[in-house]
């Protein structure tokens, strides 16, 4: 099990530094290099400044994908789940994540740069930036993947107030 986890994580991290949606398609077996300046960030609709960048493949396409999400300070998404397993690595900031159908910051876990978390398929969670700094995470998985809100009539994002999160 540990070997599979290590191999998947290594493949995702290495691949993410080698490809970008802005890069021209490469011939099979060809090397592609991309710098952070080549990454194209797009706004997530209704995300209050949250952005995403697809580096490899796409979440809505069949096959392996790598995407980065940038959460603005003090914005978190509300409880939801995904149809496929996803592996998340924190690249920048303190990513705050909780599990279960109730958004409760008192039960959240802060994860710093270099931390890794698996979101199992259908595992209910919520996450984002609970602090004053933006957060960037990298997500690796197999698509297509869908997202389902626990409360489809409720807000998809919540603003977190001051340091004590009253």
**Fold held by 40-159:** Jelly Rolls (2.60.120)
Look at residue 31 in the predicted model and tell me its pLDDT: 74
Residue 134: which pLDDT band, with cuts at 50, 70 and 90? very high
Q: Where are the alpha helices (DSSP H) in 26-122?
A: none
Residue 8: which pLDDT band, with cuts at 50, 70 and 90? very low
Cβ–Cβ contacts within 10 Å for residue 67, how many? Answer: 22
The domains of the chain are located at 40-159
Q: pTM to 2 decimals?
A: 0.81
On the question of a cis peptide bond just before residue 36, with omega within 30 degrees of 0, the verdict is: no
């Amino acid at each position: 099990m540990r070997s599979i986890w290590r191999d998947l994580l290594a493949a995702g991290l290495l691949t993410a530094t080698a490809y970008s949606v802005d890069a021209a398609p490469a011939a099979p077996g060809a090397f592609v290099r991309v710098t952070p300046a080549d990454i194209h960030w797009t706004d997530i609709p209704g995300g209050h400044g949250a952005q995403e960048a697809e580096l490899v493949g796409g979440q809505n396409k069949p096959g392996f994908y790598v995407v980065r999400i940038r959460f603005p300070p003090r914005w978190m998404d509300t409880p939801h789940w995904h149809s496929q397993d996803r592996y998340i690595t924190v690249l920048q900031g303190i990513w705050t994540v909780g599990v279960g159908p109730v958004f409760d910051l008192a039960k959240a876990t802060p994860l710093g740069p270099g931390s890794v978390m698996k979101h199992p398929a259908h595992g209910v969670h919520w996450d984002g930036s609970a602090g004053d700094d933006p957060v960037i995470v990298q997500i690796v998985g197999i698509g297509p993947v869908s997202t389902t809100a626990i409360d489809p009539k409720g807000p998809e994002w919540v603003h977190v107030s001051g340091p004590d999160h009253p």
